[in-house]
């Protein structure tokens, strides 16, 4: 018998490019649960999560998705045990080093959103190097949310706007939604069209509260280490079949 790969990429020829989301955001959850089910320590879940990340980044590139935003570490995740956090920081540093050539090959432009405080210098150094190397890339954008919290982002935006008013650069009456957009970490990026969350939880966990206002939400029971091309296609197919009204009426 001929061996076939267990998860061959099935293609997405049934969904024309204009029906596909331009920007996909993902809450990559369930690494710990996956590891527990395998009888492994939680950190093994994170290690396997990196393999999913690689798969999804490559597949989004093939599908012509303009931007992928991934929730890697929330500002609330600092509540976790130091050993797990140390491991996550090591993984982050390693990812930035090991994936660099692949990212450059795929012409990906990296962005990072979140606060730098708390991230070890070693990891920051590798992040900055990748940011610098990919700055001129013209391909898909990969935005990594690291030490990210939407409420912290809004606080930072309000502070920046207040400073602008204080210095006379901004006028209170001329503050609009666009002004707020322009002061978020995501300034200049398009809004997510599709939000995927793995591991079944029906919540946003402080992710992109402003930017997800009209995103379509798709949740799978599968954990992040189990996430593959076929599931990504399923989410995109489901998205393509929905009607987005943005508060208006169906045509
Ligand atoms: C997501 O998986 C990864 C991070 C939040 C860093 P979890 O570590 O939250 O896995 P569960 O939710 O405990 O299974
Ligand atoms: C959200 O997952 C954060 C990331 C995926 C990085 P959590 O596991 O932290 O979310 P909660 O605690 O279940 O809401
Ligand atoms: Mg979790």
User: Ligand 2, atom 11: nearest CA belongs to which residue?
Assistant: 205
pLDDT tens digits for 70-87?
999 999 999 999 999 999
Report CA(243)–ligand 3 centroid distance (Å): 30
User: Which ligand minimizes its atom distance to the CA of 36?
Assistant: 1
**Cα-based distances in Å from 224 to 30, 72, 166:** 6, 11, 45
- In 3D, which of 239, 245, 243 has the Cα closest to residue 22? 239
CATH topology of domain 29-240: Undecaprenyl pyrophosphate synthetase (3.40.1180)
Domain ranges across the chain: 29-240
What local confidence, expressed as pLDDT, does residue 11 receive? Answer: 85
What local confidence, expressed as pLDDT, does residue 53 receive? Answer: 98
User: Which ligand minimizes its atom distance to the CA of 196?
Assistant: 2
Residue 77 bears catalytic tag = yes
Which residues of the chain carry a pLDDT beneath 50? 1, 3-9
What local confidence, expressed as pLDDT, does residue 250 receive? Answer: 81
- In 3D, which of 152, 171, 151 has the Cα closest to residue 161? 171
Query: Can you tell me the distance from the alpha carbon of 130 to that of 111, in angstroms, rounded to the nearest whole number?
Result: 9
pTM: 0.95
pLDDT tens digits for 31-90?
999 999 999 999 999 999 999 999 999 999 999 999 999 999 999 999 999 999 999 999
Tokens 């503050």, located at residue? 175
What local confidence, expressed as pLDDT, does residue 7 receive? Answer: 46
What local confidence, expressed as pLDDT, does residue 10 receive? Answer: 56
Q: Which is the closest atom of ligand 2 to the Cα of 28?
A: 5
Query: Can you tell me the distance from the alpha carbon of 211 to that of 58, in angstroms, rounded to the nearest whole number?
Result: 24
Report CA(55)–ligand 3 centroid distance (Å): 20
User: Ligand 2, atom 14: nearest CA belongs to which residue?
Assistant: 205
119-133 burial, b for 16+ CB within 10 Å, e for fewer? beeebbebbeebeee
């Amino acid at each position: 018998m001929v061996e076939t790969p267990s998860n061959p990429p099935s293609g997405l020829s049934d969904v024309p490019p204009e029906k596909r989301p331009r920007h996909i955001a993902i809450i990559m959850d369930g690494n710990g649960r996956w590891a527990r089910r395998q009888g492994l320590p939680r950190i093994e879940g994170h290690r396997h999560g990196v393999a999913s990340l690689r798969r999804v980044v490559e597949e989004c590139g093939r599908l012509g998705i303009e931007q992928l935003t991934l929730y890697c570490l929330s500002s609330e995740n600092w509540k976790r045990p130091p050993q797990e956090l140390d491991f996550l920081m090591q993984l982050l540093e390693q990812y930035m080093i090991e994936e660099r050539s692949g990212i450059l090959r795929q012409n990906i432009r990296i962005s990072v959103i979140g606060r730098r405080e708390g991230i070890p210098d070693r990891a920051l150094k590798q992040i900055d190097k990748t940011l610098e190397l990919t700055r001129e890339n013209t391909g898909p954008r990969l935005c990594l949310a690291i030490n990210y919290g939407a409420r912290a982002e809004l606080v930072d935006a309000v502070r920046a706007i207040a400073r602008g008013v204080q210095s006379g650069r901004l006028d209170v009456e001329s503050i609009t939604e666009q002004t707020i957009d322009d002061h978020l970490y995501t300034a200049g990026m398009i809004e997510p069209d599709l939000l995927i969350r793995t591991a079944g939880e029906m919540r946003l966990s402080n992710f992109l509260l402003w930017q997800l206002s009209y995103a379509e939400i798709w949740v799978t029971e599968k954990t992040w280490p189990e996430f593959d091309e076929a599931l990504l296609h399923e989410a995109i197919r489901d998205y393509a079949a929905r009607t987005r009204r943005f508060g208006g009426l169906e045509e």
